[in-house]
Amino acid sequence: MYVPIALMVVFSFNPIRSLAKFAGFSLRWYQALMGNRIVWEAFFNSLWVAAVVTLVSIVLGLLMANAVVRFRFSGKPLVDMLIYVPVIIPEITESLSLLMMYVFINFPLGAWSVIIGHAAFSISYGVVVLRARLAGFDTSVEEAAKTLGANELQTFLKVTMPIMMPGILAASLLAFTISYDDFIKTMFTTGPGFKTLPLIIWFSASKGGVSPELNSLSTFAISISLLFAFARMKISGIKW
């Protein structure tokens, strides 16, 4: 599974355009990539969209996870089922349904249509991670804080949040990575003039074939994903 990725990384340092012969080590294609304005615009689009999606996913995911775990209400089994629907249905089906909704309500396609699409997908992942953290939460510490005079807000900020922080960070990294790497939903919900990094990679490959510069771009994108995966392992205390 990792051999094709390794080959792509190796040939991103190839000084010639050949994808069949490695002629040595060079940063030629990375230098060309650094001067590509379109690529960097797409990269920053991916970053800020993923940041907004992460914020929305964590806020709504935390509220939903708290409601599902701590409260009993009518229709709770249905809510539980609906939480997992975006996770288990094919992404292309969800993407097409979003596009049809946007067309039906005449919603302009662009950055915000992409953000809504990513958030609709990422919130469920946030709920799954956060509810697992809440399931093992010892509520006696909150009760002790209230007994000592803390109000609801103080208890949440000084007791609940610090205990929940590993789960919040893990859910944030997951939501960010999903949004940053997403291609299918972005492809269906974006509009003219707004491109993210996965779209640039796909369009470059479809128009001119796989070039060394594209290998460099893909290597750069993978490095970002690996960085967040490593950060999640460190935060979660996972050892090699």
Question: Using the 8-state DSSP alphabet, how is residue 89 labeled?
Answer: S
pLDDT in tens, 109-165: 999 999 999 998 889 888 888 888 887 777 788 888 888 888 888 888 888 888 888
Unique residue bearing structure tokens 């929940």: 164
pLDDT at 240 over 70: no
pLDDT at 104: 93
Query: What separation in angstroms does the CA of 42 have from each of 13, 33, 47, 132, 217?
Result: 22, 12, 9, 34, 11
CA distance 196 to 178: 13
CA distance 62 to 118: 17
pLDDT level of residue 181 (50, 70, 90 thresholds)? confident
pLDDT level of residue 16 (50, 70, 90 thresholds)? confident
CA distance 109 to 111: 7
Residues 155-182 have a mean pLDDT of 86
Residue 206: which H helix or E strand, with range? helix 197-208
Residues 1-24 have a mean pLDDT of 80
Between these two residues, 59 and 161, which has the higher pLDDT value? 59
pLDDT level of residue 180 (50, 70, 90 thresholds)? confident
pLDDT level of residue 102 (50, 70, 90 thresholds)? very high
pLDDT at 60: 92
pLDDT at 74 over 70: yes
Residues 91-120 have a mean pLDDT of 92
List domains and CATH numbers for the chain: 43-209 (1.10.3720.10)
Question: Using the 8-state DSSP alphabet, how is residue 160 labeled?
Answer: I
Q: Please state, rounded to an integer, the average pLDDT across all residues of the chain.
A: 84
Closest CA to 109 of 45, 179, 188: 188
pLDDT in tens, 132-143: 888 777 778 888
Q: What is the share, in percent, of the chain residues with pLDDT greater than 70?
A: 93
- Tell me if residue 136 falls in helix, strand or coil: coil
- Tell me if residue 25 falls in helix, strand or coil: coil
pLDDT in tens, 198-238: 888 787 767 655 567 777 877 877 887 788 777 767 766 66
Residues 32-54 have a mean pLDDT of 87
Residues 181-194 have a mean pLDDT of 89
CA distance 185 to 38: 21
CA distance 5 to 172: 26
pTM for this structure? Answer: 0.80
